[in-house]
């Protein structure tokens, strides 16, 4: 109690009080600003539709086509090239800006080194615009290995104009000795800039 009285009787000058309050104000203000800043830096993930999206084309071989991904279940005939002229559309849904995209090889089964790879001669994904061929990603077989073209399995970026639809032409070919029922799975990514 006596100590409390001593503290109570301490007379602080106005300037000292102000200085103490100023220092605590700076402290509180800085802490508030730091917390607010950290709040503004919270990451946000907004669900939106892709700018370049897939849609089903007239010669769709089968499988699922969604906005952001598609799964094509194509066939391949021995000793004859099977062409799906318009397998799937790639549409730039941005009405104001053009966007660049490329095709990038992700994975393929059966993998290199297995004799079953010899059941295919080539599988080609050719991109066309309304008037002509633009670029392609090709898989050709050499004995038991897949040869990717362009090498590395990554095409260059190509600009698709605003509100424009391009399509992928799919060409498949198997050798005369191919075994019926063999399945090949290819995964390709469409990178959009």
Give the separation between CA 125 and CA 123, rounded to whole angstroms: 7
Residues 6 or more apart from 146 whose CB is under 8 A from it?
108, 112, 117, 139, 140
- How many Å separate Cα 28 from the centre of its chain? 44
- Residue 23 interacts with other proteins (CB under 8 A)? no
By rule CB under 8 A, what string of x and - marks binding of each residue 34-53 to other proteins? Answer: -xx-xxx-x-----------
Segment near other proteins (CB under 8 A), from 15-23, 69-77, 97-105, 132-140? 15-23
Tell me which residue of 155, 160, 157, 128 sits closest to 139, measured CA to CA: 155
- Residue 4 interacts with other proteins (CB under 8 A)? no
> Within positions 155 to 174, which residues make up the interface with other proteins, using CB under 8 A?
none
Would you tell me how many other CB atoms lie within 10 Å of the CB of residue 190?
18
Q: Which is nearer to other proteins, 7 or 35 (CB)?
A: 35
Q: Which is nearer to other proteins, 38 or 132 (CB)?
A: 38
The DSSP call for residue 177 is T
By rule CB under 8 A, what string of x and - marks binding of each residue 81-120 to other proteins? Answer: ----------------------------------------
- How many Å separate Cα 75 from the centre of its chain? 26
Give contact residues for other proteins (rule: CB under 8 A): 14, 17-18, 21-22, 24-25, 28-29, 31-33, 35-36, 38-40, 42
């Amino acid at each position: 109690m006596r100590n409390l009285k001593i503290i109570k009787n301490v007379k602080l000058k106005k300037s000292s009080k102000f200085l103490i309050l100023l220092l605590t104000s700076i402290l509180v203000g800085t802490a508030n600003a730091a917390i607010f800043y950290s709040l503004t830096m919270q990451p946000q993930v907004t669900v939106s539709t892709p700018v370049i999206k897939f849609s089903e084309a007239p010669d769709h071989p089968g499988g699922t086509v969604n906005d952001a991904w598609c799964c094509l279940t194509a066939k391949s005939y021995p000793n004859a090239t099977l062409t799906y002229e318009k397998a799937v559309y790639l549409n730039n849904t941005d009405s104001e800006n053009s966007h660049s995209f490329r095709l990038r090889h992700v994975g393929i089964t059966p993998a290199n080194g297995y004799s079953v790879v010899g059941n295919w001669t080539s599988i080609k994904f050719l991109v066309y615009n309304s008037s002509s061929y633009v670029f392609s990603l090709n898989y050709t077989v050499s004995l038991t290995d897949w040869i990717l073209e362009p090498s590395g399995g990554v095409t260059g970026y190509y600009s698709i104009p605003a509100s424009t639809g391009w399509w992928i032409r799919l060409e498949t070919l198997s050798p005369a000795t191919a075994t019926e029922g063999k399945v090949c799975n290819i995964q390709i990514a469409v990178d959009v800039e």
